[in-house]
Amino acid sequence: MERYFVYILECSDSSYYTGVTNNIDRRFAEHQDGIDSFSYTYYRRPVNLVFQQDFQEIKEAIAFEKQIKKWSRAKKEALIRGDWEQLKELSKCNNESSHLNRRKEK
């Protein structure tokens, strides 16, 4: 059975890179070795693998990768730490248009 991995790398400039692969060891080595000069991580090496989660379905892995890429740095760091309470708190909608923030009319 194939496994797919969503991973987060911390780059030398402290930025994060999120990706998906079916071979985490190979893909990490590719980032670390800098095989593609157009890659985000090429000029940000060395990189450190700070998070990985495996999936059995590629569609689920890709959806999770896309979701993480939209997250704030704080949410990514909560995920990396495994701080589920902080992640839950950071996921709350605080927009004025949120149904939780609307004033009840009298």
Domains and CATH numbers, the chain: 4-70 (3.40.1440.10), 72-106 (no CATH)
98 phi and psi, to 5 degrees?
-60, 140
pLDDT for residue 1: 83
pLDDT bin (cut points 50, 70, 90) of residue 94 is: confident
Average pLDDT over residues 48-75: 97
Question: With contact defined as beta carbons under 8 Å apart, do 20 and 61 qualify?
Answer: yes
Q: What is the pTM of this model?
A: 0.86
**Rounded to the nearest 10 degrees, how much is the dihedral formed by the CA atoms of 89, 14, 22, 54?**
-30
Task: Write out the H or E segment, with its range, that includes residue 64.
Answer: helix 58-69
pLDDT at 103 exceeding the cut of 60: no
Collapse the DSSP code of 21 into the 3-class scheme (helix H, G, I; strand E, B; otherwise coil) and give the result.
strand
In DSSP terms, which residues pair with 87 in a beta bridge? none
